[in-house]
Amino acid sequence: MVFKKLLFVCMGNSCSSPMAEVIMQNLMVKTSLYWEVDSAGLRTWNIGRRPHKRCLQILREHGLRSDHFCRQFTANDFRYFDYIVAMDEAVYRELLFWDRENRGGDCEVLLLSSFGKNGLPSYIDSLSPTQKLKNFRSAYYRIKECCKHLILSQKVDIVKYELPSTEDEDFYYANKEKESLGGAEKDYSPIEENSKHSGMFLLPMDIRSSGGLTSATDPSCTNASMNHCTQGPQRKLCQKCGQKFLAAL
């Protein structure tokens, strides 16, 4: 299920926006968020082309790849996406102007560099095919940092729940088969009290409210920092603890 639809926009859609698209998609996988992520350009320069070779090289350095083909931003994107994220201030200003002229949805125009550490603006290198590889490499880390804080800015809580260990899964399926052969099926929960593995995930409110999560304490939080975290059936981590979690990605 898709909970958010997000579009990164730069001028030509060959350098910074496809890089941000892949970075955010990778963060979605790591945090178990279900957001639809895409990228586009304001100009027609690169329609139908692959992202720039330096962009693809930097992504490969981090074990990532892009299947994107450059496309042009359209007025329909304002109606389809929840968030349109500008990669630099020039693009941001143009999107705001275009949004006033083509308002047809409830999307919000954001500037990626405004999501820096501690709520302060960050600086992201303006990428173009003329930029050197070191500029692309620097932009990668800053884009990733801003994407993490963009995630934290949303109404998403970080919760912890128990995952079944391999032994738990074997026990579950073995008993399932045994009961089936005996003519009566008994539903064993694959999550036992002694599960040995656990994971931290970012989950939208819709998923958490559907149940299935157990209360637990985040081991990455110190006693002092946990005093700032909300108590409840599921523990909601404060901004500081959430940043610790994202820093580990």
Residues 166-205: tens digit of each pLDDT: 555 555 555 555 555 555 544 444 333 333 333 344 444 4
pLDDT digits (tens, 9 = 90+) for 58-69: 999 999 999 999
Decide: helix, strand or coil at residue 204.
strand
Spatial neighbors of 104 by CB under 8 A, at least 6 apart, are 75, 78, 79
CA distance 214 to 243: 22
Domains, the chain, ordered by start: 4-153 (3.40.50.2300), 156-237 (no CATH)
3-state secondary structure at position 43: coil
Instruction: Read off the pLDDT band of 226 (50, 70, 90).
Output: very low
- Tell me the CA distances in angstroms from 174 to 161, 171, 192, 194, 197, one per residue in order: 24, 5, 14, 17, 20
pLDDT at site 191? 35
Question: pLDDT digit string (tens) for 140-166?
Answer: 999 999 999 998 887 655 544 444 455
H helices of the chain, in order, are 16-31, 53-61, 76-80, 89-101, 133-153, 166-181, 205-209, 223-226, 239-247
Calpha distance 175→106 (Å, rounded): 50
- Whole-angstrom Cα distance, residue 94 to residue 216? 46
Do the strands 197-204 and 156-163 form a parallel or antiparallel pair, or are they unpaired?
antiparallel
Give the angle 199-169-182 at the CA atoms, nearest 5°: 155
Task: Indicate whether this model's pTM tops 0.95.
Answer: no
Q: Tokens standing for 20?
A: 């941000």
